[in-house]
Amino acid sequence: MITATTMLYLYVETPLHAGTGSGLSSIDLPIQRERTTQYPMIQGSGIKGKLRATAEDEFKGQEQLISAIFGPSNKPGESSDHAGALIAGDARLLLFPVRSLNGVFAYTTSYDVLSRFKRDVERGSKEQILSWDVPTSVSATALVTTPSDVQANDVIVLEDFSIDAKQDSSVNTIAEWLASYALPDLGAGNYWANKIKSSLVILPNDNFRDFVLYATEIITRVRIDREKKTVAKGALWTEEHLPTDTLLYVPIYATNARNNGSNMRGDEVLAAVEPLGTGKGSYLQLGGDETVGRGIVRIRWGS
């Protein structure tokens, strides 16, 4: 039985490739996506594995604690005596950056994404009710903040598409909440918080889906033949990445510890996990291509 919940926010600082293996399209290595919505995501097993690896670095010599939180570390083929108390959901999309004619880029989201986020937050606790509601959608129109850095003459231009825009004070309320409670400390003073407050755009659902499908970052990689100084045969490929400045959220749950040697409650499990990563400047590395600087995310635990 789940006894405690929290939220983990991930802000992408370098392009992130959480892959699915070989693709069937023009992209050789696509990213993980939800089956029905096609929104980018990161599977919960990857999130939990990274948290466990971080815990093993920071909780050296505390095998019983690690076992209680994450489950025993068994050899392949061996069964576990008990499950871990920590439950990590999939990382879901909350804000997606899109190139803008005004304001460099916009933080985009949609009515569907905000509604799912609100549901996920409020599912965890009856007392954890968000201070804002998702605004009513306006047909073929994007809602923006008042004022907005990305709007010009009642339109916004994202990538090569022009969309009618309407200022709405409810977008300001959501932007203020995201800046205060979801955005990690990214340095540079209040720059990034102010950026969200002036560049948040709530897109119609179909427009948002199209951007997250076709406006991700595609990186071409090669391997050089050292003797010939040319691309090695078969060593040219493309990788899809979540772009820098994407914001994701991960629902985190906990049960009471299941092993006989621990009497940790669910809230104590979360209290033990939440400091993870803070000793490294609140950074985690997720996905592939670690040695070329990909997948650096800044983290923030929800209150």
Whose CA is closest to 119, among 85, 92, 95? 92
How high is the pLDDT of residue 76? 61
Burial status of residue 90 (CB atoms within 10 A of its CB: 0-12, 13-18, 19 or more): middle
Q: Tokens 């009618």: give the residue.
A: 164
Residues with Cβ within 8 Å of 184's Cβ and at least 6 positions away in sequence, in order, are 9, 11, 282, 298, 299, 300
Q: Which amino acid is at 48?
A: K
**pLDDT confidence tier of residue 187, bands split at 50, 70 and 90:** confident
pLDDT in tens, 65-91: 888 899 887 666 555 678 889 999 999
Whose CA is closest to 86, among 247, 267, 301? 267
The yes-or-no verdict on residue 25 having pLDDT over 70 is no
**All structural domains of the chain with their residue ranges:** 100-213
Q: In residues, how long is the chain?
A: 303
The yes-or-no verdict on residue 94 having pLDDT over 70 is yes
Which tokens hold the place of 299?
């983290």
Which tokens hold the place of 215?
């406006």
Peptide bond into 147 cis (omega under 30): yes
Tell me the average pLDDT across 214-240: 83
Q: Tokens 């996990």: give the residue.
A: 273
How high is the pLDDT of residue 47? 94
pLDDT in tens, 158-172: 999 999 999 999 999
Q: Tokens 């499908």: give the residue.
A: 213
Does residue 106 contact residue 98 with C-beta atoms inside 8 Å?
Answer: yes
pLDDT in tens, 100-144: 999 999 999 999 999 999 999 988 665 567 889 999 999 999 999
Q: Which of 12-16, 61-65, 215-219, 253-257 has the lowest mean pLDDT?
A: 61-65
Residues with Cβ within 8 Å of 278's Cβ and at least 6 positions away in sequence, in order, are none
Tell me the average pLDDT across 262-269: 87
Cα–Cα dist 75/85, whole Å: 20
How high is the pLDDT of residue 297? 95
Stated pTM of the model:
0.92
**More confident: 282 or 208:** 208
**pLDDT confidence tier of residue 278, bands split at 50, 70 and 90:** low
Look over the chain and give the mean of its residue pLDDT values, rounded to a whole number: 89
